[in-house]
Structure 1
Amino acid sequence: MRAASIKDVATHAGVAVGTVSNVLNYPDRVAEKTRQRVLNSINELGFIRNDVARQLRAGHSRTIGLIVLDIGNPFFTSISRAAEDAASESGNAVVLGNSGHDANRERHYIDLFEEQRVQGVLISPVSDITERLSALTARGTKVVLVDSPSSEGDFSSVSVDDVHGGYTATKHLLDIGRRKIAFVAGPQHFHQVSDRLAGARNAVAEFPDATLEILQGNDLTVLAGREVGDTLVMRQQGELPDGLFCANDLLALGMIQSLTMLHTLRIPEDVALVGYDDIDFAASAVVPLTSISQPTAMIGRTAIELLAEQLDNPDAKPRSVVFKPELVVRASTTEAQSHQR
């Protein structure tokens, strides 16, 4: 059965096609009695507006593209949910793309969203793609960086001070008496990882008797954390770190699984452990995880607000918002208060 067209609605209601168009787009221009007659015809015929055609005429859609690094990480899931909620308040929708840390997939989503004439693109970049994003904005698609600062100030951005977060996490371990600190890293080409490591180094530098070792993971996942833990426990007792700071909570959860479930190390008695992101699973881990909390809801909502600013005033200068992360202390470090060296 053929779908009803706008012309069918006009014929059924006994009005001009332009009147139906006004009811759909500018209802205040149509008399109440006529508007109701058109709406009744729309309901009776089951008419669904062709939003694609409307988007082509307007030059943009009511959708916003969001590209995240890893939708399997609850940190990005939470940001996506908040962005979606904020967008829906103004009648817009968020379309999600997961780059999976893959630059080729990232480029594919950018191209796809531009072809779909989205209002704007929110993106957590895999790497430096300033040139590609500049070309995108030059053609009229606004860009907001998410969980990533704009190094040159070319784009609006919302991020977290990860250097401060790394410092706070490591300082907590040092304050409870830990001195042999190890940073469990993911790929360091991600600025989030390198910034957190920089903060850890700053904290260790304040304690002359403290050392910092880097334990390199091949990813930012639970499995990668478990693999690092399995390697760590092969060491002699005196060679083990007494404080671990993981680049994210997924790595930390993998470490907990390896150290306590597959092996016999105790957390926090033998080694104190701090994660990063404070995902929902952190509080419910086998050993509740001390973590650095990031305001994911505010990050997602602020990204939408920054995009709205750019859309409302295309000549406005890009604006950057940087949040401060906070330490949330749980059992993975609290029992270590008496462990002094």
Structure 2
Amino acid sequence: MTRTERDSHGGSGAGPAPAEGLDARLVVDRDGFRLDVALTAAPGDVVALLGPNGAGKTTALRALAGLVTPSGGHLRLDGTSLHGTPTESRPVGVVFQDYLLFPHLTALDNVAFGPRCQGASKADARVQAAAWLDRMGLAEQSGSRPRRLSGGQAQRVALARALATHPRLLLLDEPLAALDARTRLEVRTQLRRHLADFEAVAVLVTHDPLDAMVLADRLVVVEHGRVVQEGTPSDIARHPRTDYIAQLVGLNLYRGRADGHTVRLEAGPLITTTEELSGPVFVAFPPAAVTLFGERPTGSSARNVWRCEVAGLETHGDRIRADLTGELPLAADLTTVGAAELGLHPGASVWAAVKATQTHAYPA
């Protein structure tokens, strides 16, 4: 089934409601916090709700599952309203962060639980469960109880249990958060394959940008209970619209006003860009585009040069990430050798340079 793709944009609205799939506006008021998020998705879509802790992602997922009573809005699935429908009667499958497998049941009986609740006989439910475990590559673990399963195996059993009820909406709450780094890589690949075969709507809640970028067709970024941006992973990565998103995708981001190839930032400095624009814009560039000098560069071809001070240093992959303050606060990446040659340390003065060709400006 063809998956939908949407252009990146800000705001809290969603696209036209699909005839089938998910059409929701989730409004929840709790303890002084207000969630107001609109979500639409067609069958076959995998949508990731991405945002910082406390943004409202889990509240949105619990509202979709019927575990939180909305204050307003609507929730329709395949054209049918779920307002007032008990949680257990909704065509919704949930994979919780801690999986919540029944500890006294085998993997087979954990998966068979759903079909049994839907009226299947014990024998039929077990046949269905065995087929799902085989599909997950867990046939040999059918007789194992949860305590005997690895983290990756438990995650797949939880996914099989959710899918065995043939849900029209699959909800995944931080499904990889409990895994170690090596297992996470393997399970992420397997989960992507299973989600690609899922013909209904899947909503993934995560704060991990890599999980979101790899698993989802569309990202919905939530901050302070509101949608601040949504679009395909590539759109979001190229056109971040908040500092949180820019940090997630590893970009320096600024807002200003363009006049031709020059952008005056709200913070004061100018940035020269290759794009010729007019009016409010964002300007972004990666930390790797920043070159640092001990003295003001004279022979550099960079059009953008600012005097800065090192506020902090940390290892970032195989490079050193320098956090700079001064004329323009920014992050710069350089090699360990480069950092040593410059004698970088907190408080050190440096000059930062960025070529116009390495900046990217777009309308705000």
TM-score interval, smaller chain: under 0.3
Q: TM-score, with normalisation over the residues of structure 2?
A: 0.26
- Report which of the two has the higher share of strand: 2
**Rg comparison, structure with higher value:** 1
Q: TM-score, with normalisation over the residues of structure 1?
A: 0.27
- Report which of the two has the higher share of helix: 1
